[in-house]
Every structure is written in C-alpha cells, then in structure tokens.
Structure 1
Amino acid sequence: MSAQHACDTGDLEPGEAMRLDLEDADGRPLPVALVRDEDGDFHAISDICSHGQVSLSDGEVEGCAIECWLHGSTFDLRTGRPLSLPATQPVPVYPVTLDGPRVLVDVDAPVDVPAR
C-alpha cells in the first residue's frame, strides 16, 4: 500500500490534531494522530500513547510536541520520542507528504528514528 489521503490542508489549523483510522498493509484500521504544529507543518504519529493507551489526538499541541491528556507525557512530533514522564517509550511516526491541498500519510513506512 502507498500513502493514503488523510485530509486536506485546510482541515486542520496550526496547533490542532485529529484522529484518523488509516489502513495498514493487511487492511486493518490503524489509529493515527495527524497533527499540524504551531508553525503549520503536518506530522503523523500513532494515536495511541505508549504509556496510557489513550488517544494522543485529544491532547494539546505545543510547538512541535503533543501532550497526552491523561498523564501529561509529551511526545516530539518529528521523532515520536517522549519528552516527559511518565512515558518512556516512543510512538511510531509516519511520513507525511503534501500533494497540492491533499495531506498524504504512509503508514507502511514508519520513520526509523535512531536511538539516542
């Protein structure tokens, strides 16, 4: 499978996030948080917090990070790495491309972030 249409650029304002259920390679729904950071750039990460198993798209976007609404962990939108406790494990990050007004996400090609 290739990149999937997630939304149009006008569907999210800077500082907003939305939950999407995209299809993985086996056709199963995969929860993804599509986030537009405060600078207007789009990011796609797993919508499931690695600590609390809750939706990250319900959290607050601050700069290039999103905060989990349940326990307050923040995640870097570029790497998926947790920036604050209690989360210690990263969440998957997916490539985003723009095709005119269309925002595309490729859930079959997670970004490989080197260990610190």
Structure 2
Amino acid sequence: MAARILAARVDDIPDGEAIVIPRNLLGTVDDVALFRDGGEYFALDNTCSHELASLADGWVENGTVECPLHTGKFCLRDGKVLSAPADADVVAHDVEVIGDEILIVPNPERLA
C-alpha cells in the first residue's frame, strides 16, 4: 500500500472550493488539487489536461470541477473528462479522512 500523506485538515477547505497541495510534499509529478464538495474530499492532478490551468481555481459543484480557462469539466471522483474542450482525463488520487485530518494516497502512476 502506498504511503498516506497528511495534506490538510477538514477546516482548511471551505465547501465548494479547493486548495493546492505541492508536488514536493506528495512526491508526485504535478501539484494536486484537493477539493471539498458536499462534505466529501477528492484529489486530482491540478493541471487541466487541455491547457495549463489550475483546476483548484475552477468551479466545484455536484461532483465536478470546471476548468477556469476554457470550461472543460472533470469528475471529482475519478478524473474523467465530462465536457470539451478537454479531451483527456486527469489523474485521481485516493483521499482518506481520519478525524480532522485529510490524507492523500498518491496514485502510483504519478509519482516523480
């Protein structure tokens, strides 16, 4: 099992928003956007697959994030692309919440 890394605390992220977890903390090739949506937490590679935009700056709603640059949408749960102009999925990372701690388990395919 991959290491679980403390990324944030539940009060660090307002509902409907995201924060960026630096790649050097997680050992990943991209920064990771940690989202809170409806009390659930999700983690995706932060860079939109269409253009170099931060998904953490996007609009979070109903299990999706909309890229702030060209409005491509992605599923928060698995990173699947849901609308153009994005045409490639982004990588999802596992998230665990224990007490008030949010832990990310980096996807082994995206380790640096």
Please give the TM-score of this superposition, normalised by the length of structure 1: 0.84
Match of 2:84 in 1: 85
CA deviations over 1:52-97 (Å, ceiling 9, x no partner): 1211001110110001000000100011011110001000000000
Alignment RMSD, CA only?
1.9
CA deviations over 1:17-56 (Å, ceiling 9, x no partner): 111114478x46630000001x110000000100012110
- Does the alignment pair 1:10 with 2:8? no
- For the Cα contact (< 8 Å) 1:2–1:108, is it kept in 2? no
- For the Cα contact (< 8 Å) 2:23–2:29, is it kept in 1? yes
The structure where helix makes up a greater share of residues is 2
Q: Secondary structure at the match of 2:86?
A: coil
Once residues 95 and 16 of structure 2 are traced to their aligned partners in structure 1, the CA distance between those partners, rounded to angstroms, is 17
Contiguous gaps of at least 5 residues in structure 1: 111-116
- For the Cα contact (< 8 Å) 2:8–2:103, is it kept in 1? yes
Once residues 28 and 16 of structure 1 are traced to their aligned partners in structure 2, the CA distance between those partners, rounded to angstroms, is 22
Please give the TM-score of this superposition, normalised by the length of structure 2: 0.87
Identity of aligned residues (%): 35
Runs of 4+ in 1 over 3 A off after TM superposition: 22-25, 27-30
Contiguous gaps of at least 5 residues in structure 2: none
